[in-house]
């Protein structure tokens, strides 16, 4: 990863009495695929719109390669946006849709024709130039919207939930397309989604947001394997989250049972949050586990079995390639490395701002 391309410094934005972004700091590197991920209303789309110039922050600055662009209109910024609603011009064919921005810029006909051909090829729609938008599927329309954005050679492509309207198979195909496009074009992608799987699949960097605050920034692996708080752990993938007590370095009490762990520095007898991923719960013979339980639910998910195990008064979610039928008594064991310990926030506000710098 090379240098910083976009810098958001102390961005605050309110709509009426609702604070949507609160003193947000974030930088985006050149040629990075960065995803803003979070539930509805967390501020991710507002962040994108501020980068795109469609909203102006109440406070703070947006820098592009060190130059302040906070008050620059969208058409003067070196970026293009692809929205969830593709906004294709229905009275124009595909080629005319793609050429629209280039015509406004006064480019020559031969330049525009070359660009249309190049863009259609890039999004695998060779020969579709004369077709009308309403004759295309949702996935094809989405590709046209992307082609229309990339012919303008933006340094940055902003994508606001662009795959939200597509069915699952098409969405997965488009995820691979977008990764390929990013690698071929060498431009920076800033992507907004509430879909964790989409974020984990495509991103170099994920920014997890909640209530206007950044909760965690990291690679997909970091975010999944090392969540910084219970919100991130709960939002990214499935988790078992416990109110636990750190007895001392290397030992945590979960549901009153002692579990060896590798975390240190939390103090003695301190309340903490403990997170264990379902695939990290090991089911063993009842006598071999740290605590005993019984399998209460079972679903076959293709790659693994998803089970619920009642143990210690808690419904444990367990993913395993081994089948334990409903009613089977089991023991539960967890590798010390697979228990994540996190500080408990003192209040909800502190929870939202847990890692905001």
Q: What is the pLDDT of residues 156-209, one digit of tens each?
A: 999 888 777 777 777 888 888 888 888 888 889 999 998 888 899 889 999 999
Instruction: Single out the residue in 174, 200, 225 at which a domain terminates.
Output: 225
The answer to whether position 321 is within a domain reads: yes
The answer to whether position 106 is within a domain reads: yes
Residues 221 and 334 in one domain: no
Domain that holds residue 117: 4-225
DSSP-derived pairing of the beta strands 188-193 and 33-37: parallel
Identify the pLDDT of residue 241: 92
The answer to whether residues 74 and 152 touch, using CB atoms and an 8 Å cutoff, is no
The answer to whether position 357 is within a domain reads: no
Identify the pLDDT of residue 214: 94
The answer to whether position 59 is within a domain reads: yes
Residues 216 and 347 in one domain: no
The answer to whether residues 27 and 6 touch, using CB atoms and an 8 Å cutoff, is yes
Return the ∠ at Cα 340 (arms to 354 and 337), rounded to 5°: 150
CA 232/CA 223 separation, integer angstroms: 7
Residue 173 to residues 81, 124, 178, 223, 224: CA-CA distances in angstroms? 20, 12, 9, 24, 23
The pTM for the full model equals 0.81
The answer to whether residues 282 and 334 touch, using CB atoms and an 8 Å cutoff, is yes
The answer to whether position 47 is within a domain reads: yes
The answer to whether residues 78 and 6 touch, using CB atoms and an 8 Å cutoff, is no
The answer to whether residues 264 and 340 touch, using CB atoms and an 8 Å cutoff, is no
Q: What is the CATH number of the domain that holds 243?
A: 2.40.50.140
- The CA radius of gyration of the chain, in Å to the nearest whole number, is 24
Residues 287 and 206 in one domain: no
Instruction: Single out the residue in 167, 202, 225 at which a domain terminates.
Output: 225
pLDDT tens profile 213-240: 999 999 999 999 888 888 898 888 888 9
* Helices then strands, each counted (H, E), the chain: 9, 20
CA 103/CA 231 separation, integer angstroms: 47
CA 323/CA 308 separation, integer angstroms: 12
Identify the pLDDT of residue 356: 44
Residues 194 and 245 in one domain: no
Residues 33 and 119 in one domain: yes
Residues 164 and 274 in one domain: no
Say whether pLDDT at 347 is over 70: no
Say whether pLDDT at 283 is over 60: yes
Phi, psi of 318 (to 5 degrees): -130, 130
Identify the pLDDT of residue 352: 53
The answer to whether position 299 is within a domain reads: yes
Residues 218 and 97 in one domain: yes
Residues 165 and 212 in one domain: yes
Residues 72 and 147 in one domain: yes
The answer to whether position 272 is within a domain reads: yes
Q: What is the CATH number of the domain that holds 124?
A: 3.40.50.300
pLDDT over 70 percentage in the chain = 95
Identify the pLDDT of residue 75: 83
Residue 227 to residues 102, 105, 108: CA-CA distances in angstroms? 44, 46, 51
Residues 200 and 250 in one domain: no
Question: Which ranges constitute the DSSP H helices of 186-321?
Answer: 196-202, 220-225, 230-235
State the pLDDT confidence band at 357, using cuts at 50, 70 and 90.
Answer: very low
Closest CA to 12 of 21, 3, 4: 21
CA 97/CA 152 separation, integer angstroms: 12
Average pLDDT for 258-272: 94
Residues 250 and 218 in one domain: no
Identify the pLDDT of residue 84: 67
Instruction: Single out the residue in 178, 195, 225 at which a domain terminates.
Output: 225
The answer to whether position 230 is within a domain reads: no
Handedness of CA 188, 193, 198, 204 (dihedral sign): positive
Residues 8 and 91 in one domain: yes
> Looking at 22-31, 85-94, 267-276, 327-336, which range is the least confident one?
85-94
Closest CA to 88 of 125, 121, 133: 133
Total domains in the chain come to 2
């Amino acid at each position: 990863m090379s240098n910083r391309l976009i810098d958001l410094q102390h961005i605050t934005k309110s709509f009426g009495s609702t604070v949507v972004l609160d003193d947000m700091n974030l930088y985006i590197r050149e040629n990075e695929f960065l995803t803003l991920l979070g539930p509805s209303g967390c501020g991710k789309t507002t962040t994108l719109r501020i980068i795109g110039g469609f909203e102006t922050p109440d406070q703070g600055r947006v820098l592009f390669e060190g130059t302040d662009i906070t008050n620059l209109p969208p058409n003067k910024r070196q970026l293009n946006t692809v929205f969830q609603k593709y906004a294709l011009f229905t009275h124009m064919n595909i080629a005319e849709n793609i050429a629209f921005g280039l015509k406004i810029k006064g480019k020559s006909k031969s330049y525009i024709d070359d660009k249309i051909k190049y863009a259609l090829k890039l999004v695998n729609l060779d020969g579709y130039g004369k077709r009308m938008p309403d004759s295309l599927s949702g996935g094809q329309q989405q590709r046209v919207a992307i082609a229309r954005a990339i012919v303008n050679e933006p340094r940055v492509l902003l994508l606001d939930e662009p795959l939200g309207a597509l069915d699952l198979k098409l969405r997965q195909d488009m995820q691979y397309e977008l990764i390929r496009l990013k690698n071929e074009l060498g431009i920076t992608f800033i992507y907004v989604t509430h879909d964790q799987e989409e974020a984990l699949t495509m991103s170099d960097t994920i920014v997890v947001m909640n209530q206007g605050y950044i909760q965690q920034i990291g690679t997909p692996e970091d975010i999944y394997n090392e969540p910084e708080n219970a919100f991130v752990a709960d939002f990214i993938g499935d988790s078992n989250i416990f109110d636990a007590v750190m007895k001392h370095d290397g030992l945590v009490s979960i549901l009153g049972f002692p579990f060896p762990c590798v975390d240190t520095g939390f103090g003695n007898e301190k309340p903490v949050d403990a997170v264990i991923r379902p695939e990290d719960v090991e089911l063993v013979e009842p006598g071999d586990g740290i605590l005993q339980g019984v399998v209460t639910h079972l679903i076959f998910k293709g790659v693994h079995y998803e089970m619920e195990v009642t143990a210690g008064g808690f419904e444990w979610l367990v993913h395993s390639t081994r089948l334990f039928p409903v009613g089977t008594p089991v023991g539960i064991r967890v590798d010390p490395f697979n228990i994540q310990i996190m500080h408990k926030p003192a209040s909800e506000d502190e929870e939202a701002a847990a890692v905001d710098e």
